[in-house]
Amino acid sequence: MVNGFLRLLYPPKCAFCGKIVENERFAVCDDCLAALPFNLRACSVCGTPLDTVYGDLLCLSCRKKRRRFKKVYVPLIYKEIVRDGIIGMKFRGKKGRSVTFAAFIFLKLKEENAPRPDLITYVPMHFIRLGQRGYNQAYLMAKALGEMMNVPVVKTLRKIKHTSPQSKLNGRARQENLEGAIKPHQAENFSGKTVLLIDDVTTTGTSLNVCAKELKAAGAKEIYAATVAATPFTH
Ligand SMILES: [Zn+2]
Ligand SMILES: [Zn+2]
C-alpha cells in the first residue's frame, strides 16, 4: 500500500537514503522500504514506541501527565534510516522529502481511522530560525498532507520566543523552554474546530502538548496530532 501510493509521488531520490531510485516517481528505495522501523506498538495517547509486548499501551508519561491532545499518530520510529531521512529534511535542505513523510502520516491516519479534522496546522518556528533554515519543515509536511486529505492548512500558532532546540534538553527543561514561547494566531479561524497538529518528530510530546494547550485555551474543540516519527521510550 505504501508502495502504490508513493509511486505517484516525486522526487526521484529516496527520502531516507538519498539514492536515485529506478522509478522516478517512487520516493523510497526498495532497501529502505524493507528496513523501515514501523511504529507498531505505540502508546495509545502520545505515540511513543513501546518495547514491551505486554500490558496497556500507555507510556509512563501519559499515565502521569495531563495531555491536551487526544492522540498522536506516528507511523515510524525515530532511528537509523528514519533519523537520517528526517535530518536531511531539516538540516540539509532536502525539502522534497516532506511530501513522502506526509504520505506516511496520511496512510497511518487511514489505517487507524483517525477522525477527519476541520483543519490542519503545524508547530510554529520563530522567525530567526525560519530565516536561518529558510523553511519550516512542519509547515511543508502539513501543506502536503492538506493536499492529500483535501483539508485546509491554517496558521494557528506563533512562536514568539527564540528558544534552544528541544532536542538539546531533557524533561522539565523542555517544558520550561517553551513556557510562554508559543501563542495563538487569529483564534477566530480555529475556534470550535477539530484540529490536526503536525510536527516532524516527537520525543516527549512536550511541544505538541504546549501547542495543544494554547489551541484549546483559544477555543479549539479537539486536538489530534501526527508526526512522521517518535523516539523510543527510554526512561
Ligand atoms: Zn533508500
Ligand atoms: Zn504516552
List CB-based neighbours of ion ligand 1 within 5 Å. Answer: 14, 16-17, 29, 32
CA distances from 192 to 17, 119, 217 (A): 41, 11, 11
Here the cell at position 163 is 528558544
25 located within any domain? no
Q: Which three cell numbers stand for residue 35?
A: 528496513
99/174 Cα distance (integer angstroms) = 28
Residue 175 burial (CB count, 10 A)? 16
CB atoms inside a 10 Å sphere around CB 111: 11
The CATH number of the domain where 45 resides is what?
A: 3.40.50.2020
The pLDDT score that the predictor gives to residue 171 is 77
Is 146 within the bounds of a domain?
Answer: yes
- Mean pLDDT by runs of 10 across the 235 residues of the chain is 58 85 73 94 93 77 92 97 95 92 96 97 94 95 97 97 83 83 95 98 92 97 98 73
**CA 126 to ligand 1 centroid distance, Å:** 32
Residue 83 lies inside a defined structural domain of this protein? yes
Q: Which three cell numbers stand for residue 4?
A: 502504490
The alpha carbons of the chain give a radius of gyration, in whole angstroms, of: 17
φ, ψ of residue 53 to 5 degrees: the values are -105, 0
Instruction: Give the per-residue pLDDT at 157.
Output: 97
1 within domain boundaries:
no
Residue 26 inside a domain? The answer is no
Give the chain's domain count.
Answer: 1
Domain that holds residue 169: 37-230
Cα(223)–Cα(216) distance, integer angstroms = 8
182: CB partners within 8 A, 6+ apart: 124, 157, 158, 159, 160, 210, 211, 214
| DSSP-based three-state secondary structure for 226 | strand
**142 CA to middle of ligand 2, Å?**
23
Q: Output the pTM of the full model.
A: 0.91
Beta strand extents in 116-181 (DSSP E only): 119-122, 157-159
